[in-house]
């Protein structure tokens, strides 16, 4: 009879026996354990240009998964069997930012070297984490194509501030990790970039679509077309989702919010479209700063982005 | 001259002589007094699965009516003559939740037994209040058809937690108050339900429409079609509006917010469509938790739902 | 049986039959009705130098009374028999501030002309309301002594901005309503005033005590001494309590907060000391801005100030 | 070497050498200096019917410009050469509201009399500032056409409260400054106005479009049609943008928020459409109350409204 | 080299090798494991009279321990060897409050029946949890003396609302679990209780001290005197710390805040005084509602109360 | 007549001609300009162990000075003639923290090399800035004595995290800039440090006083005694005020808040005591994180600390 209502290691939470919450299909990684999706957190945002607590997002996004279930009503399918393996969050260094970048890359490498899963999600952190993350994937898998949802190019020069959250794709291109032509940028917004970087993108062959382009061509169509273009050139496609691609009314918890962005539905639908392709094996979600959010709605949206990727 | 600027019983508020605010056409119920719409508050949310102060909503929604006028510009009609009779809020019991459910049902019965109005609005509270409320209407009026705006089925089993806000329609069906086929659910969302309850809905003949269905078929069309289907079978149609059917960006003040829901305009238009039908005699509005809201925008939206129902 | 749990005019609230909350001994003023303490709200703060919503305080302070009981445990006395008559809040004018000052004075006059109570409380608003309020009392009762709890002199010149919340006592002195020697200022704070106004206070014979003076001489002693001095000169003593006399940690909801002020206990004890004297017949409480408060603690403190005045 | 990292007069801010932020193309007005757009702030909202800190908006909107760049990606054009001349904010009077209205008009006059720019932006404040502002433009330029984005007519009678933020266009019409037929109102919302004022608008020949009209006819089409109608009658067209025309989910920082309004994109697109016409020489932006906002998103939207006007 | 920076089960946190945080000396209870202090959470506040999320406090108080170290500088002693055994939090029932009370008592019984520790801490929850908690201790250990820090008597009648957070000590006395003379109440506040309950306390022989008594007699002296009085009569002394005994400025996160209470230092010093006595074997901490707190300062204070009890 | 109410470069603010606000006696440093107190901001907190926006404090503290006047009522002295020279805030580097430490030291050196003032204030930032700041002073002035108000020793080892805000005095001692015996630490708090660092302090001859010591010996007495001890040994005394020495109720805006600290009055009085000594020529104020504050009360307190230093 005793210890019926107490479990020293678990938080008590209401459980409906017929419902599986998305955080219930998580297992913690252990040597030898297999899963479907590997998840790692890169809680790093000290190199953001503006002040950011995006380092807190891996925690809040995981928590938000506990508010949703594994059942997709539209397709009448339950994904409770899809296991996500949690590799935890990387320990960063308080003052040595270079060391931290090294740790991030090493830890993503550690995760994918386990070969325990077929697909992976990397939770930022600011967009700066895409540099070490994509570098790790490229080293393991070969040529990488990237589809970046973002209001910004993130192709700033490296001299004015070093490797900030405004530079990851510049860093990748300059380091030879990523070819410009293998990078697709979707949702680029007016009054949020500079001509010099738009020009750089063109020089490097980066394919980018402004919000106006997206409105005219259709978001799902753009995604489908670009995957088609990439699929014979690259070994793996990596989705990089900067949540500020979404309008500030739908994603208030991003450091660089502004009007004129996508709706939540547009983002979710296009991520689902992309995730259905077999080459798409990795995704990062970045630029969610929970301290700036309203009712965690940006983290909840990020959790749905995860589910759209995982549950295909 | 004296007491020109003081009224001991009323809060001083700016008054434009040509404008009628929606709270100015309220009368407090007294024996023998008649009105158009009866309104009662069921300030109860202790049986919510997650923590909820939806019990505060009857106050904030009424207050929000004071921010809007009775004039519908689109139709160039002023509804200042439409009187809503306020029956007040039910006194709940601090610790005896069964007793409280009894009081809620008795009080709704008390209201409709006055026969002072032709239509009624019940302000929750969490969705658990629909069980006693619809039970009271069914007893008075006979067979009830229900149109439920909701992201969730609310058909959970009663064993895991008793009569919570996740169970009202299960309770109604099991108690024989409501036939499954007389229940229409609109706005059911992905990753927000369980397969077991979707299956239960189908077994019981519940008609439900996911957000995907709604997008394909059109929300107003769905509502019109279902009222047409119900109208010869039932004696009364009751609208049950769970505000979490609306997207989290438009209704942040609900306990169970998430992305991918309706817009405000979609909800308001479909409620108006339904309210025009003469069989539609009752409505509840539930799951507004003012303590979680931003600038009371969810209560304001609920006030507009009330006005769309009242001003037809 | 019916309408057992519904009262259309009253908010349902838990009631313990043996406890009287301080808002339960309120009656609304009606012609001919008598009480012990008359209370009127002057919801005006548009003339504040800095932005202020002190106009909301009459509502929040009254509400705070509902959180406390009429029983003073220290003296083992229950004051549930002490009736406070609520005269309501003055209707102000949106754009004509002179007209509003007129209404405030007229309404205080209306209240005291009822002669329904022996003592009165005036709830501001900003400190500007003391000018019309004290003027009304002076006209009715004759020579007025004022004890002002305040971090500031409130003796600013009238040329730079007119009758703001920085000028009430200057206005009263210049209008001949109040003699400088009949004004006592307690809690004057460093770095919160100007030498010119300190000099003006001295010229006019105002007695003022800085926080340093208060620490050295004792707050209760200062109050007792000054009442003794005033008692044979004046017809009535009026307490004017600017809540910013209290330290910002204890009263964060004042527009002009700062460190180095009184504690809550010091304020309450000294108000009680003053209120015991029979000449003390009126009090105002000003400069509570509920929009800036934390958990309404400043309004709660103001409610205790009211109770210390009422329950002697 | 010394003073390399210190600049006593400027706030240190990260600078990317290839990016121009919209606040970097500002110059402060000095005698003789020329620019493209003149900007003045009218920080006044004391005459608002409901409580408003819209007087803070000139500061927050200017600051929001610092979050965006001068580069319009859709058109691949950089507007860093477009100089906006900042004339500062008007010093208002704490208690004399008539005097303040005089100062507002005089200051707008002062600005346009410099003839230093070809177009002007006036930052409110509440909508009451449009009365002095438009009066100044009319006196300088002759017959004025006004396109007003607003949920409300703002044609209230002047007897109930004087010149509040509900009356500017009534004041203008009654003062003979503006002809009814030269006023276009877009976005008028249900349950937000009174029949009397709708009737008044019709009597005066005001052209107004409800949200329903806008949905049916298209917002850009309405704007284009009305500019076409006005262009041969008036000497100048003035845009008056009350941000509450936008839905509460997109512009939570307005005093009178409600559901059923425009999206951000709709507002921005229609302002851009209007701003392309050469007769459009002035704009005001009003009713942003930063104290009620969420993450400054309403101020950010207002900054984009400015940029859509400036960068054509 | 691999997995150097990743630990799937632990949150990464900065670690100084020479510092032990108070949460680092926690072990989770397992069968057979021993410790010094047993800690269990009773996350229950649904029976509060006013709305309360005190059920969240066990989480926030434990987390607050992570902000402090085990080193007491005043005594130059490090308590890193003192192990607290965490038994977890009780699973409550969503709708059956009687069942929940049963679970709370059973779970406290489960904990103390392990006999794994010599002293115990029970984290509420609202004060209602003291009824099942003290009942469990009394059954195990015999006659219980209770020292209650509280602004309130908590001796309300059980008819008006059942077993709320206003009744635990009434329930204990009426159930014969606790003798009135074995109950000591410290910090009882004016205008926060009713004469009827003060009278009841006297009839039952309860020893209570108002804030005035405390000021006159000294808090530590009162505690010492009462422990001396109890020590030969009872088998165990249980401390019941209602955090609202502290002034609202120091403990804003309590549901029933008010002015005139203890300072933090007074509470901590008196708890330390009591905890030094060997008969003092148990403590509960109640009425911390983290949702109402400011910067978790009330939870932090509660963590210090825990440390003062543990580290003697 | 024109431009009477507009000043393009200044924010309009109410001005009382007889009052000088503490920000009005500021001049911006220019070559050759002299003043009394030099002030520089070191807006750096990226090296904080826990997340900190203390980098925003130089702005908010300066702004808080605008809320207070230069008149000290206790001494009846106006300090409006005391000029503080503002050297601005140092431009930090987004990602190179070593470079930033270099810039901080260089900029403090730049300031004091101007020899424009006799005393200096350095506004942090986190406590990490004291390492470069004190280093600069030591190089210029010779042997430095430091009086540190702090709940913490800040003597952590440098291996676990590098030069964080927990290490400045360790860094100074190890670099030979500061002798242990020349360091005085006041307000050290229980459960906030580690034995290893207390031991290190003793080994190095650091004089430290816990809150218990302070209560027993008197804060002003401790300060006076230690200045007496230092005065013949050192060339300059530098005050380092970590605002977390104050209790969390009085200074909620510090990253590491906790109970049991000083009151505001105690801090202010002891800083005044110290500042009167002629050897005291410099002060830093650190660990104010405005994003965590309540009504800026911690910044306001910091402004008073500045005034107590400046106005002696
Ligand atoms: Ca990005
Ligand atoms: Ca971005
Ligand atoms: Ca529901
Ligand atoms: Ca729902
Ligand atoms: Ca005052
Ligand atoms: Ca004052
Ligand atoms: Ca308007
Ligand atoms: Ca409007
Ligand atoms: Ca209690
Ligand atoms: Ca209590
Ligand atoms: Ca420190
Ligand atoms: Ca510290």
- Can you spell out the DSSP letters for B120-161? EEEEESSGGGHHHHHHHHHHHHSSEEEEEE-SS-----STTT
E162/B95 touch (CB, cutoff 8 Å), yes or no: yes
> What token pair was written down for B301?
């939206």
Question: Do the beta carbons of residue C107 and residue C90 sit within 8 Å?
Answer: yes
> Among partner residues F55, F161, F291, which is closest to A95 by beta-carbon distance?
F161
**Nearest Cα to Cα of residue D250 among B252, A245, A266, A187:** B252
> For the packed helices F264-275 and F297-310, what is the interaxial angle rounded to 10 degrees?
20
Which one of F94, F161, F164 has the shortest CB-CB distance to A161?
F94
Annotated binding site of D for Mn(2+): 127, 150, 152, 154, 242, 244
Length of chain F: 312
Kindly indicate whether the ipTM for this predicted assembly is greater than 0.85, answering yes or no.
yes
Contact E304 F258 (CB under 8 A): yes
**pLDDT level of residue C1 (50, 70, 90 thresholds):** very low
Burial of E18 (0-12, 13-18, 19+ CB in 10 A): middle
| Interface touch A191/D307, C-beta < 8 Å | yes
The predicted-structure confidence for B23-58, as pLDDT tens digits, reads as follows: 999 999 999 999 999 999 999 999 999 999 999 999
Question: Token digits for E81?
Answer: 């060897």
- The per-residue pLDDT of chain F, averaged, comes to 97
Q: How far apart are CA D234 and CA E150, in angstroms?
A: 74
Percent of chain D, pLDDT > 90?
97
CA E11 to chain centre: 28
Per-residue pLDDT at A176 exceeds 80? yes
pLDDT for the residue numbered A264: 96
- What is residue E11's predicted lDDT score, i.e. its pLDDT? 87
Average pLDDT over residues E176-193: 98
Identify the residue whose tokens are 């992905």. B190
Residues of D engaging F, defined by a Cβ cutoff of 8 Å? 1-12, 14, 28-30, 40, 43, 59, 86-92, 94, 103, 106-107, 109-111, 113
Provide mean pLDDT across the span A27-44.
97
pLDDT at F10: 86
- The ligand whose atoms approach the alpha carbon of F151 most closely is 12
What pLDDT digit, counting tens, does each position of B261-287 carry?
Answer: 999 999 999 999 999 999 999 999 999
CA gap F250, F238 in Å, rounded: 24
**Do D29 and D38 contact (CB within 8 A), yes or no?**
yes
B23 is in an annotated binding site: no
Enumerate the β-bridge partners of residue E239. E147, E283
CA distance D93 to C160: 9
What number is the average pLDDT over the span A145-168?
97
pLDDT band at E10 (very low <50, low <70, confident <90, very high): confident
pLDDT beyond 60 at A228: yes
The pLDDT-based confidence of E70 (bands split at 50, 70, 90) is: very high
D92-107 average pLDDT score: 97
**For chain C, what is the HEC assignment?**
CCCCCECCCCCCCCCCCCCCECCCCEEECCCCCCCCEEEEEECCCCCCCCCCCHHHHHHHHHHHHCCCECEECCCCEECCCCCEEEEEEECCCCCCHHHHHHHHHHHHHHHHHCCCCCEEEEEECCHHHHHHHHHHHHHHHCCEEEEEECCCCCCCCCCCCCCCCCCHHHHHHHCCCCCHHHEEEEEECCCCECHHHHHHHHHHCCEEEEHHHHHHHCHHHHHHHHHHHHCCCCCEEEEEEEHHHECCCCCCCCCCCCCCCECHHHHHHHHHHHHCCCCEEEEEEECCCHHHCCCCHHHHHHHHHHHHHHCC
The pLDDT-based confidence of B1 (bands split at 50, 70, 90) is very low
Whole-angstrom distance, CA of residue E187 vs CA of residue E147: 11
Q: How far apart are CA E4 and CA A107, in angstroms?
A: 8
CA angle A204/A205/A209 to nearest 5° reads 120
What residues pair up with B186 in beta bridges, in sequence order?
A: B149, B209
Residue in A closest to D252 by C-alpha: A249
Q: Are strands A119-124 and B37-42 parallel, antiparallel or unpaired?
A: unpaired
Residue of C nearest to E49 (CA): C14
pLDDT tens digits, D152-209: 999 999 999 999 999 999 999 999 999 999 999 999 999 999 999 999 999 999 999 9
Strands (E), B8-83: 26-28, 37-42, 71-72, 77-78
What is the torsional sign of CA A164, A166, A172, A173?
negative
| Touch test B–F: 3 Cβ pairs or more under 8 Å | no
Taking an 8 Å cut-off on Cβ atoms, the answer to whether B304 and D191 are in contact is yes
- Residue A189 is encoded by which pair of tokens? 């917004």
Confidence of residue C3 (pLDDT cuts 50, 70, 90): confident
Helix (H, G, I), strand (E, B) or coil at F270: helix
Task: Give 3-state DSSP helix, strand, coil % of chain D, rounded to 5.
Answer: 35, 20, 45
Q: Report whether C284 belongs to an annotated binding site.
A: no
Chain F residues in contact with C256 (beta carbon < 8 A): 67
The distance of Cα E166 from the centroid of its chain, to the nearest Å, equals 16
What value, to the nearest 5°, has the Cα angle with vertex B68 and ends B65 and B69? 110
The Cα-based distances of A145 to A227, A229, A272, A280, E221 in angstroms read 9, 10, 17, 9, 74
Closest CA to E14 of F49, D4, F128: F49
Of A206, A245, A230, the residue nearest A281 (C-alpha): A230
State both tokens at E38: 């047993």
Report pLDDT for B220.
Answer: 96
Q: What is residue F189's predicted lDDT score, i.e. its pLDDT? A: 97
CA distances from F148 to F58, F169, F312 (A): 19, 10, 20
| Domains of chain D and CATH, by start | 26-310 (3.40.800.10)
| Residues D298 and D251: beta-carbon distance below 8 Å | yes
CA distances C283 to B48, C46, C121, C143, E293, Å, are: 46, 21, 5, 15, 32
Could you give the 3-state DSSP secondary structure of residue D180?
helix
Interface of A with D (CB under 8 A): 49-50, 156-157, 159-161, 166, 188-198, 210-212, 247-249, 252, 256-260, 292, 294
What pLDDT sits at residue C22? 97
Backbone angles phi, psi at B115, to 5 degrees: 50, 35
Q: How many helices (H) and strands (E) does chain B have?
A: 9, 11
Other beta carbons within 10 Å of F118: 12
Which residues of E are part of a known binding site? 127, 150, 152, 154, 242, 244
Distance from CA of C25 to the nearest CA of F (A): 34
The shortest CB-CB distance from C250 to any of E188, E193, E249 is to E249
Cα of A311 to nearest chain D Cα, Å: 30
What CA–CA distance (Å, rounded) separates E111 from E40?
A: 8
Q: Are F255 and F287 in contact (CB under 8 A)?
A: yes
The answer to whether chain A touches chain C by having 3 or more C-beta pairs less than 8 angstroms apart is: no
> For residue B146, is pLDDT > 60?
yes
d(CA D251, CA D253): 5
Going by C-beta distance under 8 Å and a sequence separation of 6 or more, which residues neighbour residue C127?
C150, C154, C165, C166, C168, C240, C242, C286, C287
> What is the average per-residue pLDDT within F44-63?
96
Note the pLDDT tens digit of each residue in D19-55: 999 999 999 999 999 999 999 999 999 999 999 999 9
Query: If DSSP codes are grouped into helix, strand and coil, which group holds residue F263?
Result: coil
Measured in Å, residue C22 CA sits from the centre of ligand 6 at 27
Is residue F152 marked as binding? yes
Q: Which residues of C touch E (CB under 8 A)?
A: 14-20, 22, 67-74, 76, 78, 249-250, 264-265, 268, 294-295, 297, 300-301, 304, 307, 311
N residues, chain A:
312
What would the pLDDT profile of B149-194 be if each residue is shown by its tens digit? Answer: 999 999 999 999 999 999 999 999 999 999 999 999 999 999 999 9
On whether the CB atoms of residues C210 and C190 are closer than 8 A, the answer is yes
- pLDDT of E126 reads 98
Q: For the segment C69-89, what is each residue's pLDDT rounded down to a tens digit?
A: 999 999 999 999 999 999 999
Quick check: D1 pLDDT over 80?
no
In E90-143, beta strands by DSSP E: 119-124
What pLDDT score was predicted for residue B47?
Answer: 94
Token pair for residue B109?
Answer: 């019965």
∠ CA A240-A241-A243, rounded to 5°: 155
Residues with Cβ within 8 Å of B142's Cβ and at least 6 positions away in sequence, in order, are B234, B235, B236
The arithmetic mean of pLDDT across residues C188-216, rounded, is 97
All residues of chain C having their beta carbon less than 8 Å from the beta carbon of residue F73 are: 188-190, 192-193, 198, 210
Per-residue model confidence as pLDDT tens digits over D53-86: 999 999 999 999 999 999 999 999 999 999 999 9
Average pLDDT, chain D: 97
């Amino acid at each position: 009879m005793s210890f019926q209502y107490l479990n020293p290691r678990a938080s008590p939470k209401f459980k409906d026996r017929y419902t599986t919450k998305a955080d219930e299909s998580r297992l913690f990684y252990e040597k030898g354990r297999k899963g479907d999706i590997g998840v790692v957190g890169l809680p790093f945002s000290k190199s953001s240009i503006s002040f950011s607590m995006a380092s807190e997002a891996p925690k809040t996004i995981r928590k938000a998964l506990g508010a949703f279930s594994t059942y997709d009503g539209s397709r009448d399918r339950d994904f409770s069997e899809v296991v996500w393996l949690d590799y935890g969050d990387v320990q960063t260094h308080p003052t040595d930012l270079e060391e931290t970048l090294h740790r991030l890359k090493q830890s993503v490498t550690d995760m994918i070297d386990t070969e325990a899963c077929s697909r992976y999600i990397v939770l930022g952190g600011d967009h700066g984490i895409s540099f070490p993350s994509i570098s790790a994937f490229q080293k393991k898998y070969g040529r990488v194509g990237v589809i970046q949802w973002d209001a910004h190019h993130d192709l700033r020069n490296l001299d004015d501030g070093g490797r900030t959250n405004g530079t990851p794709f510049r860093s990748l291109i300059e380091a030879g990790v990523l070819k410009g032509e293998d990078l697709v940028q979707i949702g680029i917004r007016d009054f949020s970039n500079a001509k010099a970087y738009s020009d750089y993108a063109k020089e490097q062959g980066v394919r980018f679509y402004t919000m106006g382009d997206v409105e005219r061509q259709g978001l799902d169509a753009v995604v489908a077309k670009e995957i088609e273009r990439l699929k014979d050139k690259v070994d793996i496609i990596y989705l990089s989702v900067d949540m500020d691609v979404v309008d500030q009314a739908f994603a208030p918890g991003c450091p660089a919010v502004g009007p004129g962005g996508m709706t939540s539905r547009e983002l979710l639908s296009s991520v689902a479209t992309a995730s259905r392709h077999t080459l798409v094996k990795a995704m990062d979600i970045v630029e969610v700063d929970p301290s700036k959010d309203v009712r965690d709605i940006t983290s909840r949206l990020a959790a749905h982005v995860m589910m759209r990727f995982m549950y295909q």
